[in-house]
Amino acid sequence: MAEPAYERKHPSRKSSNICRAMNLQIHHYCTFRRHARMFLEPSIYHKWKMDQQAMFQQLQPQGKIALSGDMRADSPGHSAKYGSYTLMHLESNKILDIQLVQSNEAGGIAHMEKEGLRRGLDLLESNNLHVEYIVTDRHTQVQKYLRERAVKQYYDVWHIERGLSKKLEKLSRNKECQVLRKWLPSIKNHMYWSAMSSKEGPEKVAKWKSLFNHIQNVHTHDSPEFPKCAHADKVSRDRNKWLRPGTMLLYKVEKLLLNKRLLKDVKKLSHQYQTLALGAFHSVILRFAPKNVVFPYIGKLCRLYLAAMHFNENADREQTVNLEGTAVYKIMYPKSKKGQPTAQTVKTEPTCKYVNDLMRLLFTEVFDNPATFVEEILKLPIPADLSAEYDRPAKEDVIARNVARFNPVYPT
């Protein structure tokens, strides 16, 4: 029962609680962990490495590759123990590598993202894979590291648009800035359009700066890269929607839309690929490694590999069609849209053929000679526990220092 318990994406403790409530006798958690260390985790690790090498060999003849990268912390806030950095091949939409970093390995939580990226790029280079460019967020340490490593970096549009939209929405709540609220969807769409319809950085900046003229009903611009708005000439029926020159609202909007840092970031917006698929992969990880469950280092790593195998197998799922041959959609009301409906594609059911491959590997090879597969995992550099950095006082001393709130007991 240990193999299904590891594969069905839920910790064994939850399964044991269900069985205990039904008065079903099952193995103890210690037995499950022993089976996992000797058989399950070596099988998962071996299969992932084989799959990874197959992907590397397939990509090597292509020359340089385009990637997206992002880190996922195992808990919210500034107390994360683990950070997993993922590198995805943008053309095939498959996970190439996952690096699990413990906070004490990188010198702190703030440095885990850079360390995970460094390890991933080193692994790709050691396998003769060279990066043409990488799409990431605006993490400052990552920016500096990629610049020093001479790797071209583009920014994900969603990360920049989200930050700007929050500032504009906050500004639109003011009584004298209500007219700005009508422009929020258009400003968001214009950032995506500026990135997707341009090839070079100056063209992206010119198209973005044209927005400031457009919201004033001015549709010709001084930039040679974009001298005129691309929309057709038409007379507006609602003159009150335009922002008036010389007003405090226009001044505040200008500070947000045309500040130097934003223009510098717009210049590096990704014009082809984004990191949306990475966000979907992070959602898949939650099914295999929930954030509210503590796992050992190897257990966490193997669950990340399981999530990657599941994602890669289902990366190219097609959209479902009905009996008439029409593509199927479902209406969603995401929180980010504030009640506005969106049409989401319905894809075919995911498959789990990798589970059959794991079971075959487990029963035909690992059971016969587990020492060979366990040795692969023993070669991994496992970091020391976070608690190892601190002194461990005697149990009696800790009890003696424990003072009750209403009935204090002081040690003699």
For 363-392, b/e burial (b = at least 16 CB within 10 A) is eeebeeebeebbeebeeeeeeeeeeeeeee
Q: Is the pLDDT of residue 408 over 60?
A: no
Question: What pLDDT band is residue 10 in, cutting at 50, 70 and 90?
Answer: very low
Q: pLDDT tens-digit profile of 278-306?
A: 999 999 999 999 888 888 999 999 999 99
- Read off φ and ψ for residue 79, nearest 5 degrees: -125, 25
- For the cut 50, the answer to whether the pLDDT of residue 63 exceeds it is yes
pLDDT higher for 30 or 111? 111
pLDDT at 114: 95
Q: Tell me what percent of the residues of the chain surpass a pLDDT of 70.
A: 94
Q: pTM, whole model, 2 decimals?
A: 0.88
Cβ atoms of residues 95 and 312 within 8 Å: yes
CA distance 198 to 193: 8
Convert the pLDDT of each residue in 195-253 to its tens digit. 999 989 999 999 999 999 999 999 999 999 999 999 888 877 777 889 999 899 999 99
Contact between residue 128 and residue 60 where contact means Cβ atoms under 8 Å apart: yes
Q: Residue 342: pLDDT above 80?
A: yes
- Mean pLDDT check: name the lowest of 52-56, 220-224, 391-395: 391-395
Which residue would you say has higher pLDDT here, 2 or 359?
A: 359
Measured on CA atoms in the order 43, 48, 54, 56, is the torsion positive or negative? negative
pLDDT for residue 390: 83
Instruction: Identify the weakest region by mean pLDDT among 9-13, 114-118, 182-186, 324-328.
Output: 9-13
Backbone dihedral angles phi then psi of residue 222, each to the nearest 5 degrees: -85, -15
Q: Which domains does the chain have, with CATH numbers?
A: 2-156+274-314 (3.30.420.10), 157-266 (no CATH)
Q: How many residues does the chain have?
A: 412
- Supply the pLDDT for residue 284: 94
In the predicted model, what is the mean pLDDT of residues 88-97? 96
